[in-house]
């Protein structure tokens, strides 16, 4: 055995020995407790890069690197939620990743099914910290056999209100921004309350319901039918006497009160309007963005969410290596900058553009 291998075996043995493990666990808790004394970021995003290079360096399969990447994610989530971070957003699969070898894409999808199931079990991490899962991205691109796992994970955790885990899968910022622009255009092209004409969809529905009510009046009440003695499920604001006859008095009233549809004023569209249509619409502004593996690019992730005060950190370690010891300097630097911004009176400006 070479001296290098001997030293690494010895340090492994030492680190996993019960007293050292106990001391390290306590040191971690102490560190997290200390960090909690300062300001805590509300929203942190991780670009989990370097799984394959880590695998290559350790002579293991690429999918093993991704599996270790998931373990790193579980560690980091625990740290974030313990510290009090409300929203964690992770880049789990880019739309571009579909161009990878079929076997790797298949392996990642299989892993997603297993991990999504693990993550939302009772007593598991998200349950312990009261965090819900949201899957952000192009739902249409999720393979049919993976979709039920995604929906189950979201459904099983939706009652959790303390924190959020946004899993971007399959995602790119450009697709997100395109969808947000489309949704905004739709919102501003449609009248908020379409005027009711005798031939409008709402009036026709009401007329049909009204007819059904008249018929069911003469029949014994059945399960599921409207409560004829009390409230019916017909909107009170529209009379059940309404008919489709254009000569009816209601028609005259509609005509005399008919106003042109009111469209929303496009001049009122702001950055906040677009933000509200992003997948992260109801999340706090992004405080910290971390990318591992030494690559200094955003790679189509959180392009809209990175605002003037988002602190972007590019770390050298590969994602499977990422742990509290890499995250502490990030948090400390963010806390220090927050204090500086507070002194300069710049806190609270965030993403507002007016």
- Catalytic residue selected from 26, 49, 57, 229: 49
Contact call for residue 70 and ligand FPP (CB under 6 A): yes
Of 53, 82, 152, 264, which lies in the binding site for ligand FPP, with binding defined by CB under 6 A?
A: 53
Confirm whether 193 is a catalytic residue: no
Residue 226 has a CB neighbour count (10 Å cut-off) of 15
Contact call for residue 97 and ligand FPP (CB under 6 A): yes
CB of 83 or CB of 167, closer to ligand FPP: 167
Query: 90: which 2 tokens?
Result: 């992770």
Binding part of the chain for ligand FPP, among 43-51, 187-195, 207-215, 336-344 by CB under 6 A, reads 43-51
**Residue 277 beta carbon to ligand FPP: minimum distance, rounded to whole angstroms:** 24
Contact call for residue 293 and ligand FPP (CB under 6 A): yes
Contact call for residue 66 and ligand FPP (CB under 6 A): yes
Q: What angle do CA 131, 134, 139 make, to 5 degrees?
A: 165
Confirm whether 97 is a catalytic residue: yes
Contact call for residue 168 and ligand FPP (CB under 6 A): no
**Residue 51 beta carbon to ligand FPP: minimum distance, rounded to whole angstroms:** 4
Of 35, 39, 41, 51, which lies in the binding site for ligand FPP, with binding defined by CB under 6 A?
A: 51
Residues 215-234 that bind ligand FPP (CB under 6 A): none
- Catalytic residue selected from 51, 57, 97, 166: 97
Query: How many residues in total does the chain contain?
Result: 354
Contact call for residue 73 and ligand FPP (CB under 6 A): yes
In three-state secondary structure terms, 167 is strand
CB of 66 or CB of 209, closer to ligand FPP: 66
Total site size for ligand FPP, rule CB under 6 A = 18
**Residue 323 beta carbon to ligand FPP: minimum distance, rounded to whole angstroms:** 14
Contact call for residue 69 and ligand FPP (CB under 6 A): yes
- Nearest residue to ligand FPP by CB is 69
Instruction: For residue 87, list its beta bridge partners.
Output: 43, 164
Q: For residues 217 and 232, what is the distance between their CA atoms, to the nearest angstrom?
A: 12
Q: List CB contacts of 170: < 8 A, sequence separation 6 or more.
A: 93, 94, 95, 97, 98, 137, 138, 141, 142
Binding part of the chain for ligand FPP, among 110-118, 222-230, 262-270, 329-337 by CB under 6 A, reads 110-118
Query: 257: which 2 tokens?
Result: 């009160």
In three-state secondary structure terms, 8 is helix
Nearest CA among 152, 170, 21 for reference residue 91? 170
**Residue 49 beta carbon to ligand FPP: minimum distance, rounded to whole angstroms:** 5
**Residue 59 beta carbon to ligand FPP: minimum distance, rounded to whole angstroms:** 14
Q: For residues 282 and 284, what is the distance between their CA atoms, to the nearest angstrom?
A: 7
Q: For residues 88 and 177, what is the distance between their CA atoms, to the nearest angstrom?
A: 20
**Residue 56 beta carbon to ligand FPP: minimum distance, rounded to whole angstroms:** 7
Beta strand spans in the chain (E): 43-47, 87-91, 131-136, 163-168, 288-291, 311-314
Cβ proximity of 149 and 116 under 8 Å: yes
Query: 8: which 2 tokens?
Result: 């690494």
Q: For residues 159 and 122, what is the distance between their CA atoms, to the nearest angstrom?
A: 12
Q: For residues 174 and 50, what is the distance between their CA atoms, to the nearest angstrom?
A: 23
Of 45, 167, 286, 306, which lies in the binding site for ligand FPP, with binding defined by CB under 6 A?
A: 167
Residues at the site binding ligand FPP, with contacts judged by CB under 6 A = 48-53, 66, 69-70, 73, 92, 97, 112, 115-116, 167, 169, 293
Residues involved in catalysis: 49, 97
């Amino acid at each position: 055995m070479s001296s290098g291998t001997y030293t690494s075996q010895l340090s492994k043995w030492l680190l996993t020995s019960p007293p050292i493990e106990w001391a390290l666990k306590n040191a971690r808790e102490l560190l997290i407790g200390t960090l909690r004394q300062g300001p805590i970021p509300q929203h942190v995003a991780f670009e989990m890069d370097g799984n394959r290079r880590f695998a290559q360096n350790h002579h293991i399969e690429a999918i093993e690197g991704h599996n270790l990447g998931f373990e790193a994610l579980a560690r980091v989530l625990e740290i974030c939620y313990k510290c009090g971070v409300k929203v964690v957003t992770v880049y789990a699969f880019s739309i571009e990743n579909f161009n990878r070898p079929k076997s790797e894409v298949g392996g990642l999808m299989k892993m997603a099914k297993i991990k999504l199931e693990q993550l939302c079990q009772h007593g598991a991490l998200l349950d312990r910290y009261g965090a819900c899962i949201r899957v952000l991205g192009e739902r249409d691109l999720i393979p049919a056999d993976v979709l039920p796992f995604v929906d189950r994970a979201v459904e099983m955790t939706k009652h959790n209100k303390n924190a959020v885990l946004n899993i971007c899968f399959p995602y790119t910022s450009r697709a997100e921004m395109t969808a947000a622009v489309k949704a905004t255009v739709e919102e501003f092209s449609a009248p908020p309350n379409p005027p009711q004409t005798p031939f409008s969809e709402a009036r026709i529905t009401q007329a049909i319901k009204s007819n059904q009510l008249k018929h069911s009046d003469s029949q014994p009440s059945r399960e599921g039918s409207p409560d004829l003695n009390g409230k019916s499920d017909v909107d009170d604001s529209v009379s059940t006497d309404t008919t489709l006859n254009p000569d009816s008095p209601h028609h005259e009233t509609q005509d005399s009160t008919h106003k042109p549809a009111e469209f929303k004023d496009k001049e009122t569209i702001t950055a906040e309007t677009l933000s509200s249509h992003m997948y992260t619409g109801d999340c706090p502004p992004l405080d910290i963005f971390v990318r591992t593996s030494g690559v200094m690019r955003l790679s189509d992730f959180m392009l809209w969410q990175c605002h003037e005060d988002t602190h972007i950190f590019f770390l050298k370690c590969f994602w499977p290596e990422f742990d509290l010891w890499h995250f502490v300097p990030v948090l400390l630097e963010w806390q220090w900058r927050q204090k500086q911004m507070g002194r300069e009176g710049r806190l609270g400006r965030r993403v507002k553009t007016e």
